[in-house]
Amino acid sequence: MNTRNFEKDELFEQFRAVREFSEEISSPLATEDYVIQSMPDVSPTKWHLAHTSWFFEAFVLEKYDKKYKSLHPQYNYLFNSYYALVGERHCRPKRGLISRPTVDEVYKYRDYVNKKIEGFFTRSSEKEFREHAPVIEIGVHHERQHQELMLTDIKHVFSENPLKPVYLEAPSNGTNGKTAKQSWVAYPEGLYEIGRGEESFCYDNETPRHKKFLNPFKLSSRLVTNGEFIEFIEDGGYSRPELWLSNGIYTAEDNGWQAPLYWEKAGSKWHHFTLSGFKELNLAEPVCHVSFYEADAYARWKGARLPTEAEWEIASEDLEIEGNFVENARYNPVPLNGSLKNMKIKQMYGDVWEWTSSPYVCYPGYKTLPGALGEYNGKFMSNQMVLRGGSCATSITHIRNTYRNFFPPDSRWQFMGIRLAQDEN
Amino acid sequence: MNTRNFEKDELFEQFRAVREFSEEISSPLATEDYVIQSMPDVSPTKWHLAHTSWFFEAFVLEKYDKKYKSLHPQYNYLFNSYYALVGERHCRPKRGLISRPTVDEVYKYRDYVNKKIEGFFTRSSEKEFREHAPVIEIGVHHERQHQELMLTDIKHVFSENPLKPVYLEAPSNGTNGKTAKQSWVAYPEGLYEIGRGEESFCYDNETPRHKKFLNPFKLSSRLVTNGEFIEFIEDGGYSRPELWLSNGIYTAEDNGWQAPLYWEKAGSKWHHFTLSGFKELNLAEPVCHVSFYEADAYARWKGARLPTEAEWEIASEDLEIEGNFVENARYNPVPLNGSLKNMKIKQMYGDVWEWTSSPYVCYPGYKTLPGALGEYNGKFMSNQMVLRGGSCATSITHIRNTYRNFFPPDSRWQFMGIRLAQDEN
Amino acid sequence: MNTRNFEKDELFEQFRAVREFSEEISSPLATEDYVIQSMPDVSPTKWHLAHTSWFFEAFVLEKYDKKYKSLHPQYNYLFNSYYALVGERHCRPKRGLISRPTVDEVYKYRDYVNKKIEGFFTRSSEKEFREHAPVIEIGVHHERQHQELMLTDIKHVFSENPLKPVYLEAPSNGTNGKTAKQSWVAYPEGLYEIGRGEESFCYDNETPRHKKFLNPFKLSSRLVTNGEFIEFIEDGGYSRPELWLSNGIYTAEDNGWQAPLYWEKAGSKWHHFTLSGFKELNLAEPVCHVSFYEADAYARWKGARLPTEAEWEIASEDLEIEGNFVENARYNPVPLNGSLKNMKIKQMYGDVWEWTSSPYVCYPGYKTLPGALGEYNGKFMSNQMVLRGGSCATSITHIRNTYRNFFPPDSRWQFMGIRLAQDEN
Amino acid sequence: MNTRNFEKDELFEQFRAVREFSEEISSPLATEDYVIQSMPDVSPTKWHLAHTSWFFEAFVLEKYDKKYKSLHPQYNYLFNSYYALVGERHCRPKRGLISRPTVDEVYKYRDYVNKKIEGFFTRSSEKEFREHAPVIEIGVHHERQHQELMLTDIKHVFSENPLKPVYLEAPSNGTNGKTAKQSWVAYPEGLYEIGRGEESFCYDNETPRHKKFLNPFKLSSRLVTNGEFIEFIEDGGYSRPELWLSNGIYTAEDNGWQAPLYWEKAGSKWHHFTLSGFKELNLAEPVCHVSFYEADAYARWKGARLPTEAEWEIASEDLEIEGNFVENARYNPVPLNGSLKNMKIKQMYGDVWEWTSSPYVCYPGYKTLPGALGEYNGKFMSNQMVLRGGSCATSITHIRNTYRNFFPPDSRWQFMGIRLAQDEN
């Protein structure tokens, strides 16, 4: 993991901002909403708030100050997610059984950690700062990741409630169904380089930069829309085994999938549950909350395929990072308006994470970080697929063109969508 | 179900008192504590508070006033427990996924229902009162049952938390290990009558009164204590198949039972989790939180057996109802002090529900109530065992010598204990 | 368990006959058929053949002759069913994974045991004979029980095969739908005695004889027929919760029950799989392969109830034991022909085991046999219901009016059916 | 899939040989052994024998002759494995519940199909032959694949039997522990080509040939041995989370893995179950029956890694195909004897399939075959890992340096082992 030589002020400002934003995200919630775990993948909001604080405690404060005392001796047990080298942990699927510490106590814990980190910024020597600053930077990025999970998790929690609570009202996404025309953007074959090479921050799994030969390929100029995905449904897509991976169709059958997660037909029209409540589906919005299996089947139905992560990275290399991020406060993908000028590729960043056809494995020559932080990424390189580009719940400050997100192929509760690719021939 | 001709005032006072007591029981809880369901058998406290209100709505208010409107159209779906004839219900194991209505909203719902029932008392005609009073009386008893569940459920919820929260500090149970000597009390054979015959309130499953021939039998003068149960454990009781029912030892093995629920060895001494926190075990207290299977195996190990429910009922017929009930605010069984004078039987009421060897089936000639209230008791007469006598979490106003409680033989989270019986020979 | 003073010849003849009959039952099978376990409740035929031999080995031969050597040292492990006191056992659900010993080897094992028991009859002293004869007698009855299981198990095995194999062709059951009219037979109230009192053989669970007070009651003159059960189905019986025990309707829903086991609609007509193959349903035959839950729901739908085991025993006390037993080689219940003369009760024995409303518990004063044979019956007295009267797969030599068969309330693969009862009022 | 222009005679001889060899493999079995399915992954031997016949029926005979009639109308249902486009199939985990067709009938079915294919060879026109020959060739390779499964499946079936049956006695593997020294063989970086380019037969998943850039790398000169793997066990390898993928250690914990499949400590020495019975472990033999997770953890413990499939393919490109294959009739990997001359890489073919670090995905530009044969390989490209090189149960006629075998990362019942790789630096 490379880090710039941050100036203290800049890093402190990042720290302060990310800590504040977690609390801003939580502010629309009632106390009761913080407690619930609606499935094993989901964590209660108060757990996220505490775990992101624990991260600074375990990886910075306890290293920096050998006499450091946590606010409570059991918090290290309760709020360690999966770092085996840091010690025993509370069982993940039981996070929703823990009413204490209360939400108030968790906020006190955050304040406690914030003050201690503030103290570090004030009092650390140059040498100490150089030693711990890179880990604080990881902690900032770590908390941004959890902010996205807080939103997707609370969406899942609310969706289980027959009262269909509203997290925050967002403005309408405009005219239903109106979107820019789809076209294909071509890229030549070549021996490319992918992976992070610059000095600025990245995770270990984005490195090392390495050579990759690509055949010529084409990417779709925009994301697949709800309206296009409905055509797949209406063509019997969910019950045609020839379109699916074997694991995919069994997963769909076992779980009774007939449409993306959160979709529901009310009368003759498709609706979906959103963070702004239960709404009629806008056909022009990018389709969202589909698994890799559904994305893959849709692509096959279209006579196309999903991009590899290398293709996605090459195609995005020179694009400016702009799009519909969490800072927009839409909490939902939005339609692509206007015409596509100059055959440029659009919607690469923001809106939805784009499933690639690449299993999540290490790059050639990959090395994990030493110590428990080495568990951050590497140990999950099994039975997961890479997603690229960030979503409407990602912070614009968090995404990079080399950023590798990863989820099992049957996951649907993140903001996940589809961009098509094709071989050039 | 028989009912006395209650005077309005008396019934209203009962209603008011039971409604108030539910809120008193809840008062030590933090908001977060109300939300959690730690296993499918357990319901969140706020669900209990809402469901007991819904009961008056569904069975009284909607019958009395055709124009009655609930506070929320979805509450009938969310807070119906198992009354199929009243309509669709929210899935029981998902009660812990519902953050809304919030605790505040649930208290508003209680107030709303209380005011409406108050209105009924104020405005109902003599005829209307005669029609609905028996159902209000059932509602009062129903809420008392749920008050016991609120306590046993919150105990289970807290026990899952590594922080081991304290519900309420209770006074100590006195000297560890000191208790009255055990002896046997004999009863002659005879053609007895059991079941409720009086005019006063009872549930349908206690009727009709009917003849039952009993061989001569003996009951233990007191409950089995923790100290006595530890002897069973130390004699290898949990791993000696000859002592157990076949289903019992498989259940014990599958769940890794080595001691009663909530017991834990800390150092060389047994401790247990209580509503007053994690405590060293008082050896003189009645053993508690054992399943029927453990009670049955213990009895066999002792060369004894469990009583039948008819034996228990005959033995308790002339006893005054007194003991360690919820009104004592101990939330735990207490040791039997003093000597046993005159060979009298003790601890029949309160402390712990006593497992009997009687499967829960209907009495000869049993009739269920008409309509949805007929689902109250009868449909559970399968694979459950009868327990008698009430516990430290039962209200003294709720128990009768004909009262039939029932749980599956592997249940342990209620305050359940053991009284031994023997054949006279 | 009481035993007559058998003469050696008589007991040996019984032994020889039962051993021969097991092989006769197996004779229509192909080698492959002997191997399969189609669900955990089912055992492979070759396991039954070996286990019934092991029984004589473990309980007679090894006691009689300290130097006795089994044919193979592992057979005690493989063919012990559930006698914990005899030692470790092979895991029940894995009986179908064991191709060796082969069928031929199992027959050799049977011969080996037969010869050794023959030797016992030839050489045992009077004292030795008195000691072991009662256990041989149990072994004979034990093997008769397994003969019934062999038939019901092979029926289940064959039913899983899309080829629907035929075990043996049986003659037709006559005109479809023609049966004797149903009426009610009344019995007065009284303090009766039930349980085995005579000297002849019975199992421990039939004792001791004891007093039981019964209200006046009525039993149906005959069994419920397929045609009558179809009316229940067509009246929506399987989806009306008010007719069912709570456990019952959940079981039905979870397993997708819409009709008795082995029923299948082919075109507009109900068919069922039988040991004679896949046949159109004869509406006059007693309904069969229903669980206790279905029997109970049917009775409630009819405004009736199931009999208690005491009522059944009193009603059958003076009846001759006759009916459609395994000796008839029909392997299916048959319609009741002719008119019912003199209001006599019919079909009490044979055809189908009749579900009672009595949970299987011990009689007052019950004592198990000493040693491992004490595990024969007593340890199963939990979550099972009593059935009475024997079936078309039971031997006439095996049944008594005090005989208590027992199965969990969700079992269906035995020949199980319904007789209705009512209170007299 | 490319095919040479086979001469009829050559293809017929291949067909004849492969059909015969399936029966030769089965010949040591008792009838009962053919029936059993010891886990869902395993199929009964008689199913393999029938399914490989069905393959020729469904893909050749029914296409060639529209009037073709199978021996039984249900065989298409029973013996279709996973070809959704060919129609409904019997449920895979229930293959062990089917006693009929009997083993004799399955052999008759094989003869029937053999004669029909023989008829095709005799009577087909040149044009017909050109059309169907490539599919017959696939059928031949398909049957060779199943021959390997027959051996691994019967090994699993026998291992479940406490009697530990012997399939065939094989000669001893020589001196325990004596093996050639391990060294590293280096390969330079480069833009290589992998995938099948020649005209001769291959599966669709080996194509198209395509460019792949590789960093410099080293492969171990030989496979990891039992003795080396024991060092990992004794160093606590199975309980050190830092060595494992997250999914891996959970799988190991959930399944209680403490050693490779079939290993068992008898006294102080490791033994393993083999097709020649239960034997003491030869420390010099290649370790076998490890999952990808164990292989990956072992490599990390050694400071090495697993090879990618591209590295394996480049390293094996010019090697002669020779090794310990099924034709050797050892049914177990054998130690590498002698010294390693000239730093040559050894044991690349035969002995054990070598786990690679490459998830099984399609090559760039991959196209499936048209029709149901397109389901052969492509639909399994999810959550599986590639293995290379063949095993002691593979036919030498079946393996190629481009051959891609694939199994889920938790599979262990194939002959699967470990070769280490390292980055050159």
- What does the mean pLDDT of chain C come to? 94
Q: Which of D215, D247, D365 is facing A365, going by the closest CB pair?
A: D215
**Cβ contact, residue pair A84, D358, below 8 Å:** no
Nearest residue to A385 via CA among D356, D293, D382, D291: D382
Residue C425 has pLDDT above 90, yes or no: no
pLDDT band per the 50, 70, 90 thresholds, residue A342: low
Sheet containing A263-266, strands listed edge to edge, beginning at the edge strand earlier in sequence: A263-266, A269-274, A277-280
Instruction: Compute the residue count for chain B.
Output: 425
CB B59 within 8 A of CB B138: yes
The answer to whether residue A74 neighbours chain B at the CB level (below 8 Å) is: yes
Q: What is the structure's pLDDT at B1?
A: 38
Whole-angstrom distance, CA of residue B242 vs CA of residue B380? 30
Instruction: Report CB contact under 8 Å: A383, D247.
Output: yes
> In the block, which residue shows the tokens 């008792």?
D30
Q: List CB contacts (< 8 A) between A210 and chain D.
A: 213, 215
Per-residue pLDDT at C260? 98
Token code pair at residue B87: 């309509």
Residue B266 C-alpha, separation from nearest chain A C-alpha, in angstroms: 17
Q: Closest Cα to residue D347, out of D144, D185, D147, D175?
A: D185
Considering only A310-314, C170-174, C330-334, D362-366, which range has the smallest mean pLDDT? C170-174
Q: H-type helices in B196-327, by residue range?
A: 226-234, 246-254, 292-301, 309-316
Please state, in angstroms and rounded to a whole number, the distance separating the CA atoms of residues C420 and C222.
8
Beta pairing partners, C218:
C186, C422
Closest C-alpha among C150, C124, C106 to residue C12 = C124
Q: Are B and D touching by the rule of 3+ CB pairs within 8 Å? A: no
> What mean pLDDT do residues B364-389 have?
93
What SS3 state is found at D178?
A: coil
Smallest CA–CA distance from C95 into chain D, residue: D161
Residues making up chain D, counted from first to last: 425
**Taking residues C41-65, what's their average pLDDT?**
97
> Which one of A85, A245, A383 has the shortest CB-CB distance to D381?
A245
Q: How many CB atoms lie within 10 A of CB A240?
A: 16
Please check the confidence at residue D3 and state whether its pLDDT lies above 60.
no
> Is residue D1 very low, low, confident or very high in pLDDT (cuts 50, 70, 90)?
very low
Gap between the Cα atoms of C392 and C405, Å rounded:
14
Please state, in angstroms and rounded to a whole number, the distance separating the CA atoms of residues A233 and A259: 7
The closest CB to that of C383, out of B241, B247, B381, belongs to B247
Say what the pTM is: 0.96
Residue B342's pLDDT band (boundaries 50, 70, 90)? Answer: low
What is the rounded CA–CA span in Å between residue A384 and residue A205?
Answer: 14
- Nearest C-alpha of chain D: how many angstroms from C255? 17
Whole-angstrom distance, CA of residue C296 vs CA of residue C298: 5
Q: What is the pLDDT of residue B175?
A: 73
- For residue B122, pLDDT beyond 70: yes
Of the given ranges (A194-203, B10-19, D214-223), which has the lowest mean pLDDT?
Answer: A194-203
Q: Tell me which chain B residue has its CA closest to the CA of residue A98.
A: B161
Residue A329 is predicted with a pLDDT of 95
Nearest-neighbour CA in chain D from C157: distance (Å): 7
Which of A215, A242, A383 lies nearest to residue D383, judging by beta carbons?
A: A383
The residue behind tokens 């609930």 is B70
pLDDT tens digit string along D70-122?
Answer: 999 999 999 999 898 888 999 999 999 999 999 999 999 999 999 999 999 99
- Which residues in chain A are contacts of D84 at CB distance < 8 A? 241-242
**Would the pLDDT of B174 be above 80?**
no
pLDDT over 60 (residue A111): yes
Q: How confident is the model at residue D2 (pLDDT cuts 50, 70, 90)?
A: very low
B315-340 per-position pLDDT tens digit: 999 999 999 999 999 999 999 986 65
- CB of D64 closer than 8 Å to CB of D116: no
Distance of alpha carbon B230 from alpha carbon B242, whole angstroms = 18
How far is the alpha carbon of A230 from chain D, nearest alpha carbon, in Å?
24
pLDDT value at C175 more than 80: no
Non-local CB neighbours of A226 within 8 Å, separated by 6+ positions: A270, A281, A282, A283, A284, A285, A286, A287
Nearest-angstrom CA–CA distance, C262 and A89: 50
- pLDDT tens for D164-173 read 999 999 887 7
Looking at the predicted structure, is the pLDDT value of residue A181 above 60? yes
Write the single-letter amino acid at B351.
D
In this predicted structure, the answer to whether residue C94 has a pLDDT above a threshold of 60 is yes
What is the distance between the alpha carbons of residues D288 and D177, in angstroms, rounded to a whole number? Answer: 15
Interface list for A 162-181 with D (CB within 8 A):
none
Q: What integer pLDDT is reported at residue D339 of this predicted model?
A: 62
Stretch B307-320: mean pLDDT: 97
Burial (0-12, 13-18, 19+ Cβ within 10 Å), C278: middle
What pLDDT sits at residue C301? 98
Query: What is residue D341's predicted lDDT score, i.e. its pLDDT?
Result: 62
Contact A359 D357 (CB under 8 A): no
pLDDT tens digits, B182-220: 999 999 999 999 999 877 899 999 999 999 999 999 999
Confidence of residue A1 (pLDDT cuts 50, 70, 90): very low
A212 forms beta bridges with A192
pLDDT bin (cut points 50, 70, 90) of residue A176 is confident
B2 confidence band (pLDDT: 50, 70, 90): very low
pLDDT at B341: 63
Q: How far, in whole angstroms, is CA D39 from its chain's centroid?
A: 17
Q: Which residues of D touch A381 (CB under 8 A)?
A: 245
Token duo for residue A336: 């692509």
CA gap C299, C232 in Å, rounded? 10
Structural element, H or E, at residue A15:
helix A8-26
Hey, CA dihedral for C13, C15, C17, C19, is it positive or negative?
A: negative
* Closest to A250 measured CA to CA, from D383, D313, D132: D383
Which of D29, D32, D156 to probe the C interface (max C CBs under 10 A)?
A: D32
Q: Quick one: pLDDT at residue D104? A: 98
Determine the Cα–Cα distance for residues B395 and B147; give it in Å rounded to an integer: 9
CA dihedral D326, D330, D334, D338 (to 10 degrees): -90
Query: How high is the mean pLDDT of chain B?
Result: 94
Smallest Cβ–Cβ distance between D162 and the set C74, C103, C157 belongs to: C74
ipTM computed for the complex: 0.95
Asked whether B223 and B351 are in contact (CB, 8 A), the reply is yes
Q: Which residues of A touch B163 (CB under 8 A)?
A: 72, 74, 78, 98, 100-101
Residue by residue, DSSP assigns C63-94 as HH-TT---SSTTHHHHH--S-GGG-----GGG
DSSP A230-247: HHHHHTTGGG-GGGS-HH
Chain A residues with CB-CB distance to D379 below 8 A: 244-246
Task: Identify the three-state secondary structure at position C404.
Answer: coil
- What's the alpha-carbon Rg for chain A, to the nearest Å? 22
Q: Which residues contact B81 (CB under 8 A, 6 or more apart)?
A: B51, B89, B92
| A91 inside 8 A of chain B by CB | no
Alpha-carbon distance values, A233 to A239, A251, A257, A298, A303 (Å): 9, 16, 11, 9, 16
> Rounded to whole angstroms, what are the CA distances from A4 to A10, A122, A130, A195, B345?
11, 20, 10, 17, 81
Which of C35, C160, C163 is opposite residue D32, by nearest beta carbon? C35
Give the closest residue to C246 by CA, choosing from A161, A256, B376. B376
Q: Do B99 and A162 touch (CB under 8 A)?
A: no
The Cα angle at residue B247 between residues B243 and B248, in degrees rounded to 5: 45
Contact A324, A392 (CB under 8 A): yes
pLDDT greater than 80 at residue A343: no
Asked which of A211-225, B106-120, C226-240, D196-210 is least confident by mean pLDDT, the reply is D196-210
A212 shares contact with chain D (CB less than 8 Å)? yes
- Helix segments in B160-287, DSSP class H: 226-234, 246-254
Token output for B339:
């000597």
Residue D104 to residues A13, C30, C100, C261, D111, Cα–Cα distance (Å): 80, 10, 19, 31, 11
| pLDDT score of B172 | 80
Distance of CA D406 to the CA centre of its chain: 8
pLDDT level of residue A339 (50, 70, 90 thresholds):
low
On average, the pLDDT of chain A sits at 94
Sheet-wide strand order for A416-417? A405-407, A385-388, A353-359, A416-417
Flag if C30 and D77 touch (Cβ within 8 Å): no
Q: Read off the pLDDT of each residue in A222-240 and give the average, rounded to a whole number.
A: 98
- Within 310-349 of C, beta carbons closer than 8 Å to D belong to none
